[in-house]
Structure 1
Amino acid sequence: MKTVAILLFPDLLMLDVAGPMDVFSIANRYLPPQEAYRIVTLAAGERTVRASNGLAMQADLLIEDAEPAYDLLLVPGGPGAYNDSHGALLAWLGRAAEASRRYGSICTGAFILGEAGLLEGRRVTTHWHYIERLAARCPGAEIETDQIYIRDGKLLTSGGVTAGIDLALGVVAEDHGRKLALDVAKVLLVVMQRQGGQAQFSPLAAGVVGDDSPIARVQNHVLEHLDEPFSIERMAALVAMSPRHFSRVFAREVKMTPMEFLQGARLDRARNLLETGDLPLKTVAYRSGFGSVRHMSFLFAEKLGLSPAQYRRQFS
């Protein structure tokens, strides 16, 4: 029997706990008792915690009464993961993670792992909206921006919220084979392997840096004329800069190159048109500045892992 432990703390995201727990509990329907998962919930300080949706949850054990090691130890996310400090929990978590066969996080639970020093030098991910914040908190971690979940040795981390289900299905497949994981996925009405990564849910273009700066003026002009051709030279000329100086200033202020911003803005425009209407793909490509459906499709596949038609089916 394999023991899966999930930490509870105030202001956690309920789905980060319930999603993986249901994967393992449904897997138990198909497993003989001696191979079933034993699922326990742990908390520090008080056994009763309130989730971010207001629901009270009671842990099975306090960490001081808990076992020292688990087959899988998971930390969920939620506002309490990145807004609060976790004191005595961190020392226990460091010891338990080292002693456990596998450990990891769902969504922003990565912030607690980072606070415990468990992400240093590791490949990790979190919810797309918190990637930059995690990078600032944990500069020694190698943060992936587009993965649904990542395995680095015995560390597993996942993207936002429902990605915890993907991670748990991956664990079931590793432990008991793909067929069982597929059976569980069918019960949950989810797919075993998603098409594309987190990028399909997040904006690709950086926000406008500021209303009165030269770079902001270029960004706004580009966004207002996306169907027109742009080059570094044309963008630089808008603010009377040399192309080289413009590129350097743009990258410093926006944290991406001018052409990366342009490409991301065009992809975001195309995604919006696909989500909100039924325009032909040729029209979407023209209005977004791609010039052709072929070019648009190439970039959708490269950046989002989906074709424009697949994106429309999934999000419209």
Structure 2
Amino acid sequence: MDDRLVIVVGYDGIELIDLACVTSGFEHANRQGARPPYRVVFTTPAGRPVRSDTGLEVRGHAGLDRVDGRVDTLVVSGGLGHEAASRDPRLVGQVRRVAAVSRRVASVCTGATVLAAAGLLDGRRATTHWHYADALADRFPRVHVDPAPVYVRDGVVSTSGGVTAALDLTLAFVEEDHGAETARRVAMGMVTYLHRPGDQAQVSQFTGVPRPEQLLLRRVVDHVVGHLDDDLGAARLAALVDVSERHLSRLFARHVGRPPARYVRDARLEAASRMLVATSEPLTAVARRCGFASAESLRQAFVARFGLTPSRFRAEHTPRRATGR
């Protein structure tokens, strides 16, 4: 193969960041000496310019209908125009046709809607921008939609979460094709983290749930985040703000959307996952600092949440560092 042909699909209403993360990510890989290099072709319906969801017009290299022969990677962009694009039978049919001759197929953000309309996600686990996950699941019940991960790889088909998750998926492809060191250099060149693991949540619980406006509950949440290794049982938290456990549970349900015990567990798991990736602390220390009774308790919580042990999580998700001579 002289090069790796990457076909990127756009349409009216695409998200520019979705497009740029993919095209720039592969181009940066070429600058880092990727061999064979990537040849990225941005295609649009009939090869015409498309208008992004911010109003800027983007000119395509070619029409999607002109793509012929083997393709290395097919990537469908997301954007506010994804619903209209998924109901365009010509576009969907062309995506299905090109996917059949592609080594791997992917979507970024809401581009998953187009893949689903083409039948390419049937029976597969997939993700999309968390805001549109319910709509995708309702419209395409044969797709196993998981709104949490940054990206999902199911066989030859990959889907990524919202917007900048496109870069995480592109880095994963670069690492698969050219190794971890090339992906690391691409990430450094693009001044981004190398690279978020696919099963990391698109939205951290500390940013995904707004800090409660209710002052009493805010005190409880702030205490939990700042004292993970303390006694954070419901009785202790209720006593902290001088209310009953039942009243505290009602406040959590109304303002946070989960009971106190689950919020505490999620906070401890998120902190532990960050420590495992960012430090070399032994599991017993991570467990203790994050409020787990033992390393075994931490292990059980990780297996239940991530489907793998803390040791395996650390091994898979710790960024690889270059070794100097």
Identify whether the pair has TM-score above 0.5, normalized to the shorter chain.
yes
Matching of residues 284-303 of structure 1 within 5 Å: 294=291
Which moves more between the two structures, 187-196 or 119-128?
Answer: 187-196
Gaps of 5+ in 1: 206-219, 239-249, 272-291, 306-316
* Percent identity over paired residues: 33
Compute the displacement of 1:146 (Å): 2.0
- CA distance in structure 1 between the partners assigned to 2:217 and 2:116 by the alignment: 37
CA contact (8 A) 1:145 1:199 kept: no
Q: Which residue of 2 aligns with 1:26?
A: 28
Compute the displacement of 1:99 (Å): 1.6
Compute the displacement of 1:30 (Å): 2.3
- CA distance in structure 2 between the partners assigned to 1:225 and 1:168 by the alignment: 40
User: Cα distance 1:62–1:46, how it changes in 2: closer, same or farther (>3 A)?
Assistant: closer
Gaps of 5+ in 2: 221-236, 240-244, 269-288, 293-297, 311-325
Name the SS for the 1:294 alignment partner. Answer: coil
Matched residue type, 1:44:
P
Asked whether 1:57 is paired with 2:58, we answer: yes
Name the SS for the 1:41 alignment partner. Answer: strand
Q: TM-score, normalised by structure 2?
A: 0.66
* Superposed CA RMSD: 4.1
User: Cα distance 1:264–1:42, how it changes in 2: closer, same or farther (>3 A)?
Assistant: farther
Compute the displacement of 1:69 (Å): 3.6
Q: Which residue of 2 aligns with 1:39?
A: 40
User: Cα distance 1:38–1:55, how it changes in 2: closer, same or farther (>3 A)?
Assistant: same
Compute the displacement of 1:117 (Å): 1.2
Compute the displacement of 1:293 (Å): 7.0
Compute the displacement of 1:87 (Å): 2.2
Name the SS for the 2:152 alignment partner. Answer: strand
- Cα-to-partner distance string for 1:91-112 (whole Å, 9 max, x where unaligned): 1111211221001100110011
Compute the displacement of 1:10 (Å): 0.2
- CA distance in structure 1 between the partners assigned to 2:115 and 2:290 by the alignment: 43
- CA distance in structure 2 between the partners assigned to 1:47 and 1:68 by the alignment: 21
Which moves more between the two structures, 133-142 or 12-21?
Answer: 133-142
- Cα-to-partner distance string for 1:10-69 (whole Å, 9 max, x where unaligned): 01000000011111101111226x611001011113520010111111111112222244
CA contact (8 A) 1:42 1:60 kept: yes
Matched residue type, 2:43:
L
User: Cα distance 1:115–1:223, how it changes in 2: closer, same or farther (>3 A)?
Assistant: farther
Q: Which residue of 2 aligns with 1:95?
A: 97
Name the SS for the 1:6 alignment partner. Answer: strand
- CA distance in structure 2 between the partners assigned to 1:123 and 1:192 by the alignment: 24
- Cα-to-partner distance string for 1:133-181 (whole Å, 9 max, x where unaligned): 1111211111223211111111011011111111011111111111000
User: Cα distance 1:54–1:265, how it changes in 2: closer, same or farther (>3 A)?
Assistant: farther
